[in-house]
Homo-oligomer: A and B are copies of this chain.
Amino acid sequence: MIAKVNIKGGDMEEMAAQLKEGGVEDLAAQLEEMKTRLAAVEKKMPEDKLSMIVFSGDMDKVLAAFVIATGAVAMGMDVVMFFTFWGTPALRDKNKKVGGKDAMGKMFGTMLPKGTCEMKLSKMNMGGLGTAMMKRLMKQKNVATLEQMLEMADELGVRIYVCEMSMDLMGLKRGEMVDYQHIDYCGVAKFLEEATGSRVQLFI
Contacts and interface: CB of A to CB of B under 8 A. Distances in A.
Interface of A: 1-9, 11-16, 18-19, 22-25, 27-28, 30-31, 34-35, 37-38, 41-42, 44-46, 48, 50, 53, 55, 57, 60-61, 64, 67-68, 71-72, 74-75, 77, 84-86, 104, 111, 122-124, 133-134, 137-138, 140-141, 143, 165, 168-169, 187-189, 191-193, 195-196, 198-204
B53 A202 contact: yes
A41 B35 CA distance: 13
Prevailing SS type, chain A contact patch:
helix
A142 to B, nearest CB: 10
Q: Within the oligomer, what is the number of copies of this chain?
A: 3
A112 to B, nearest CB: 8
A168 to B, nearest CB: 6
A37 B31 CA distance: 13
Contact of A192 (B18, B71, B122): B71
